[in-house]
Amino acid sequence: MRFGTVFAMHSTMEETQKESAPIEAESEAGLFLDAILENIIDSIVTIDGNGIILSVNKHTETLFGYPRAELLGSNIKMLMPSPYRSEHDKYINNYLETGVKKIIGKGREVYGRNKNGKTFPINLAISEFVWRDKHSFIGIIRDITDSVEVKRKIQQVEELGLLNEELEQFNYIVSHDLRAPLRAMHNYADFLTEDMEEKLDSTDRKYLAGLKKAVTECNTLIEDLLTLSKIGRDKIVIIDDVDLGEILDDVLRPLIESTDISILKDSTWPRISTHPGLLKQILTNLISNAIKFNESNPKQIRLSHREVGDSAIELIIEDNGIGIDEKYISTILKPFKRLHTSEEYEGTGIGLAIVQKAVKYLAGEMRIQSAIGEGTTVCIQLPG
């Protein structure tokens, strides 16, 4: 169907003939309008009240990758990912039944889906017209991938700017005001143990050992806090081309030297562009947790990957450990939130917060799936 058969220009014919080259017939006016709509840089789609595509312009074919013949007569839902795909009919039916306009006459940001299955952000503006006594709809679609990416980068820079001053002050306090007295306490405990060795009974030794243990734990906590605070301080992310297999080997080597654990991993790994230091931090924390929170015999960890779309890689860390109740997954991503005491499992409760912040800084995503007694799977998706 031509766009010119959907729109009429009766009211402008006389004026057009006076002010420009004459358009002498309505059919010619239709062709003229077709040429305009066909070459607009936005995608234009018309559908009927059942969501069936009536017409498209040339840019629709370019944007979504479907030839015109494949689009015409098909349901518009083919251009939508979930959840928009399942909700579309509800929107149309609700409007036709109630007359209440929720999305008609407005522009909104949603996602489209091309023929290859790739989703991308779009601005969608919908309007209504009546054609041959039937409700029909026009969708004007613009790809906003570039503008969304620019907004994301601007927001990231603004967040980093707001945090930078506080983080610098925090680092100074931790480095100078807390480390020095802790170091002194540990040294005094050592002096007492050495100088009064013959006079100390078992209770005295126990107290001094507990003091040194507490100081060591405090120092570890400070180191973790410093790590957490440093992530995101650099406004420019240093990206290198790295071999994931080599990164994993470097991470695993010190973790499994004295650990009775079975590591299963893919035989081949791709190269990606990322920050190698942060990637090592992410993998070290996750694999350490998979080893620590594991009472199985034998302990097993599976490391694998898969490609996501054209430009992302998902790293998958699976273990057969103690697992996590699903309702607590969001809780343990916050600093200092623990599900066990330090006597049960050592640590500061900051590890996953470090991972989450590092993943976000690398423009990635993290998902955790787990159940008590059934192990845990962590998926890290990073730009490739």
Q: Specify whether 149 is located in the same domain as 136.
A: no
pLDDT of residue 18: 45
Query: Which domain CATH number covers 66?
Result: 3.30.450.20
Same domain, residue pair 111 and 149:
no
**Co-location of 229 and 241 in the same domain:** no
Full strand arrangement of the beta sheet holding 299-308: 261-265, 299-308, 312-319, 376-383, 365-370
Q: Does 5 reside within a domain?
A: no
Q: Is residue 22 part of a domain?
A: no
Partners of 75 in beta bridges: 52
Per-residue pLDDT at 73: 94
Residues 243 and 133 grouped into a single domain: no
Is 17 part of any domain?
Answer: no
Strands 299-308 and 261-265: parallel
Q: Are residues 184 and 316 in the same domain?
A: no
pLDDT digits (tens, 9 = 90+) for 352-372: 888 888 898 888 999 999 999
Whether residue 44 is found in the same domain as residue 81 = yes
For 199-227, the pLDDT digits (tens) are 888 888 888 888 887 777 677 777 766 77
pLDDT of amino acid 103: 75
| pTM for this prediction | 0.47
Which of 143, 167, 190 represents a domain boundary (last residue)? 143
State whether residue 131 is helix, strand or coil: strand
**pLDDT for res 23:** 47
Query: pLDDT under 70 in the chain at which residues?
Result: 1-26, 164-165, 167-169, 171-176, 217, 224-225, 228-230, 232-238, 257-259, 342-343, 347-348
Report d(CA 70, CA 300) in Å as an integer: 49
User: In the listed set 115, 143, 171, which residue is the last one of a domain according to the structure?
Assistant: 143
Query: So what's the pLDDT on residue 19?
Result: 47
- Which pLDDT value is given to residue 175? 62
DSSP for residue 258: T
End-of-domain residue from the set 205, 236, 267? 236
Asked if residue 293 and residue 165 are part of one domain, the reply reads no
Same domain flag for 363 and 248:
yes
Residues 256 and 269 both lie in one domain? yes
The answer to whether position 46 is within a domain reads: yes
For residue 337, the model assigns a pLDDT of 73
List the domain range (segments joined by +) for residue 315.
237-384
CATH classification of the domain holding 243: 3.30.565.10
- Is the same domain home to 152 and 95? no
| Residue 125 β-bridge partners | 107, 140
Q: Domain check: are 264 and 354 in the same one?
A: yes
> Quick one: 139 and 149 in the same domain?
no
Rounded alpha-carbon distances, angstroms, from residue 278 to 168, 182, 241, 285, 363: 19, 28, 13, 11, 12
Total structural domains within the chain = 3
